[in-house]
Amino acid sequence: MKPGSDMDPSQVEGNASSEVKHTLLGALQSMRLSHISQSTDKPFRGFEAEFASRLQLTEVSILSKAEEPEKFEGRVVIQVTVDEEMLNSAKNMHGGCSAMMIDICSTMPIYVLGASTSGYGVFGVSQSLNIVYHSPALSGDKLRIVSTTLAVGSRALSSRCEIWNVTRHRLVASAVHIKMVPSEPKASESAKL
């Protein structure tokens, strides 16, 4: 994407519809916004907003699964450059930073697949996030985060995510994210009366 085109789906590669791309751009945009802190009553950006502000959506696609060509998978690619605010005391990208990016990025192909194949995309809520750390990323390293769906059912949703270090040509982290569609809240007894 070109600078200043945060909400322009035509700047995002891939074969997903403009509407689906626009929804993901909007999700990233809403994560970036500040809100009023309930505890201080002052504007506050927060943890998620800081990370989301660095993420650049570059590809949104629907592809035939290599293992099962009659089925489809969602694929989302995001790029980010590691900066000093993302580092731990050892001057490597903090594992918590990686986990936050994986959580955000691995959710997106789940939405993409549902919205593109059934017209109804969901983001779901996390059940588990299993991460394997392979190598460190340093300040200035350019990362490519590739997320694809594993399975998207009516309740259980899963995806895999890999963070690749483009600068050093190595895998930084890989993960499997299991999500679920939350149940509708049950009406309280007082609401029934």
What's the topology of domain 12-183?
Thiol Ester Dehydrase; Chain A (3.10.129)
Q: What is the pLDDT of residues 89-120, one digit of tens each?
A: 999 999 999 999 999 999 999 999 999 998 88
Kindly report the pTM of this predicted structure. 0.87
Predicted pLDDT at 3 = 38
Decide if pLDDT at 128 tops 60.
Answer: yes
Cβ neighbours of residue 27 closer than 8 Å, sequence gap 6 or more: 108, 111, 123
Predicted pLDDT at 56 = 95
Q: Return the domain boundaries, the chain.
A: 12-183
Predicted pLDDT at 31 = 86
Predicted pLDDT at 179 = 96
